[in-house]
């Protein structure tokens, strides 16, 4: 299997299966002498931990990171940072019923078609569990550009309901979960203090790398920059309000606020499937820290590339 490496000047390699021994990540390109805090890393990881967020999977994972390399005396060494997280809350027996069949809308059948073998326990590499590695990488990226701020502006669910990230949103998801159903939606994020002049004008556009990084998250089905209805705007409308472009022009950041809209499909483990395993009624709550981590990682990677020019 290829495709487990992302980034150029700053890169991550993720590994591990959902119900295997551990998940892990190797981050290459982290500059030396950055302040590292184990407590801040674990706090960062808490934001996506299953069993921690209301209205999500009941699976409990303690997510205790073990630093293998790249850190000494509270500082980054500039060498590859390797981190593993032991899998402790898996219940593989939940998936015995699908050992010899494929779940609709999952990667079960296509994985078997491609590799002629699959780990049916929780989805293997295609599981949302993989994202714990990305969140760790996002923490280390935050050490490079600590001034970068990412805020959730709104969440628009597939049934038309619009929420802020608050208790009303989580309560609504709990209602859906109790019906053994699920829902998709879009999340709008604002990225503040993004340095200008990041990205290249052809294949390495900043928006292209942001799109790839976010669309690689399981369940993500759409990405747009700026006004998601930009294709319907006239030229005069765009000139009158450049904020519609979302902070990137010609593939290069302008220094303005980035506006990113990401869409997720509804999880298809519903009904009897939801009763058997421990599943999320909506991907968005636990995807938010993953989205943030990938945005930080991409911008930090491009920042290091830009420093090479300077």
Model pLDDT for residues 254-296, shown as the tens digit of each residue: 999 999 999 999 988 776 554 454 578 899 999 999 999 999 9
Q: Which residues contact 77 (CB under 8 A, 6 or more apart)?
A: 32, 70, 71
Model confidence pLDDT, tens digit, residues 28-64: 999 999 999 999 999 999 887 765 666 565 566 678 9
Query: What domains sit in the chain, N to C, each tagged with a CATH number?
Result: 5-309 (3.60.150.10)
Q: Output the pLDDT for position 110.
A: 83
Got the DSSP string for 239-269?
HH-GGGGTTEETTEE-SSPEEEEEEEPPPS-
């Amino acid at each position: 299997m290829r495709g487990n490496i992302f980034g150029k000047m700053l890169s991550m390699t993720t590994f591990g299966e959902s119900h295997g021994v551990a998940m892990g990540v190797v981050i290459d390109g982290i500059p030396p002498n950055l302040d590292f805090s184990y407590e801040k890393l674990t706090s960062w990881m808490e934001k996506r931990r299953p069993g921690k967020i209301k209205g999500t999977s009941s699976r409990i994972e303690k997510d205790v990171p073990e630093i293998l390399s790249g850190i000494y005396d509270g500082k980054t060494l500039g060498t590859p940072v390797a981190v593993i997280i032991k899998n402790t809350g898996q219940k593989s027996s939940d998936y015995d019923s699908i050992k010899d069949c494929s779940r609709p809308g999952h990667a079960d059948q296509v994985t078997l078609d491609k590799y002629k073998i699959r780990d049916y326990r929780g989805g293997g590499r295609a599981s949302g569990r993989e994202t714990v590695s990305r969140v760790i990488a996002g923490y280390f990226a935050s050490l490079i550009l600590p001034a970068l701020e990412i805020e959730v502006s709104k969440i628009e669910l597939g049934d038309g309901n619009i929420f802020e990230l608050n208790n009303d949103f989580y309560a609504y998801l709990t209602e859906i979960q109790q019906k053994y159903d699920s829902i998709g939606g879009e999340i709008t994020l604002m990225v503040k203090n993004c340095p200008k002049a990041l990205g290249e004008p052809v294949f390495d556009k900043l928006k292209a790398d942001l799109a790839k990084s976010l669309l690689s998250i399981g369940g993500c089905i759409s990405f747009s920059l700026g006004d998601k209805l930009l294709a319907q705007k006239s030229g005069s409308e765009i000139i009158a309000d450049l904020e519609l472009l979302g902070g990137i022009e010609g593939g290069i950041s302008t220094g303005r606020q980035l506006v990113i809209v990401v869409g997720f499909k509804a999880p298809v483990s519903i009904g009897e499937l939801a009763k058997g395993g421990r599943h999320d009624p909506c991907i968005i709550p636990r995807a938010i820290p993953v989205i943030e981590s990938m945005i930080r990682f991409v911008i930090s990677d491009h920042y290091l590339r830009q420093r090479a020019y300077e």
